[in-house]
A = this chain, B = another copy of it.
Amino acid sequence: MNDVSAPPARRPLTLRDVSEASGVSEMTVSRVLRNRGDVSDATRAKVQEAARALGYVPNKIAGALASNRVNLVAVIIPSMSNMVFPEVMGGISSVLEETELQPVVGITDYLPEKEEKVLYEMLSWRPSGVIIAGLEHTEAARAMLRNSGIPVVEIMDTDGNPTDCAVGISHRRAGREMGEAILEAGYRRIGFMGTKMALDHRARKRYEGFVEALAKGGVELADWEFYEGGSALAKGRELTAAMLERTPDLDFLYYSNDLIGAGGLLYCTEKGMDIPGSFGMAGFNGVELLRGLPVTLATIDSCRREIGRTAADMIVARMEGATSSEVVTLTPKLQPGDTMRLSAP
Contacts and interface: CB of A to CB of B under 8 A. Distances in A.
A61 B65 contact: yes
A126 B233 contact: no
Interface string A282-294: 0000001111111
Q: Is the interface of A mostly helix, strand, loop or mixed?
A: helix
A125 interface: yes
Contacts of A140: 3-4
| Chain copies in the assembled complex | 2
Contact of A126 (B59, B80, B89): B59
A289 B231 contact: yes
A98 interface: no
Interface residues of A, number: 62
Contacts of A80: 80, 86, 89
Interface stretch (A143-151, A272-280, A331-339): A143-151
A241 to B, nearest CB: 11
Contacts of A242: none
Contact of A9 (B6, B125, B147, B293): B147
Contacts of A4: 139-140, 142-143
A46 interface: no
A70 B61 contact: yes
A25 to B, nearest CB: 21
Nearest to A63: B124
Contacts of A294: 266, 270
A292 B120 contact: no
A58 interface: yes
11 contacts: A9-B147, A12-B126, A55-B144, A60-B126, A61-B126, A62-B65, A86-B86, A105-B105, A233-B292, A266-B292, A266-B293
Given A4-B142, A60-B126, A270-B294, 14 more contacts: A3-B140, A4-B139, A8-B149, A9-B149, A57-B123, A58-B124, A60-B124, A65-B65, A80-B80, A81-B86, A81-B87, A231-B291, A233-B289, A233-B290
